[in-house]
């Protein structure tokens, strides 16, 4: 499994990278939304962990771009943020985020959320492969 971690704080990127490694997965880090959007154009990710407050481009703006892109439309996104405003959480979930966790994050809650989100990614990956096969080999 390949996880994209997007956060403007180096300490958070390092901590989340260790969590992902401990779960037996690979991670790629982006320090801003623009960098994350560039990475998803050249790499495939099974899950994205996304900060809400970043310079120049908010997590919500990144999520909107991800949902408009055919390559990333179905990739699960979990927000990890210090933003506690209920309207931000509601908007993130309405845009398709699968979870919205608070910083500082609870390791058990984060691990559980990641494990719950990944089968969604696997399902869509299998469905995409099946659909492409059906297009190539109609019954």
pTM of the model: 0.83
CATH code for 2-136? 3.40.50.2300
Whether the Cβ atoms of residue 64 and residue 91 lie closer than 8 Å to each other: no
pLDDT digits (tens, 9 = 90+) for 84-103: 889 999 999 999 999 999 88
Q: In what helix (H) or strand (E) does residue 18 lie, and over which residues does it extend?
A: helix 10-22
| pLDDT exceeds 60 at position 69 | yes
Residue 21 pLDDT > 50, yes or no? yes
CA distance 63 to 58: 9
Q: Identify whether 34 is preceded by a cis peptide bond (ω within 30 of 0).
A: no
Query: pLDDT category, 131, cuts 50, 70, 90?
Result: very low
Q: Using an 8 Å Cβ cutoff, are 20 and 63 in contact?
A: no
pLDDT confidence bin for 133, thresholds 50/70/90: very low
CA atoms within 13 A on the CB side of 54: 27
pLDDT at 17 over 80: yes
């Amino acid at each position: 499994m390949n996880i994209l971690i997007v956060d403007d704080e180096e300490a958070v990127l390092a901590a989340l990278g260790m969590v992902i490694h401990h779960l037996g997965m690979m991670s790629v880090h982006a320090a801003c939304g623009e960098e994350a959007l560039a990475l998803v154009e050249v790499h495939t990710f099974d899950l994205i962990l996304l900060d809400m407050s970043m310079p120049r481009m908010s997590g919500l703006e990144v999520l909107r771009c991800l949902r408009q892109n055919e390559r990333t439309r179905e990739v699960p996104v979990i927000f990890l943020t210090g933003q506690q405003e209920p309207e931000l959480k509601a908007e993130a979930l309405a845009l398709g985020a699968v979870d919205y966790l608070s910083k500082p994050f609870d390791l058990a809650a984060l691990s559980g959320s990641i494990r719950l989100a990944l089968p969604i990614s696997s399902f869509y990956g299998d469905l995409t492969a099946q659909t492409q096969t059906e297009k190539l080999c109609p019954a």
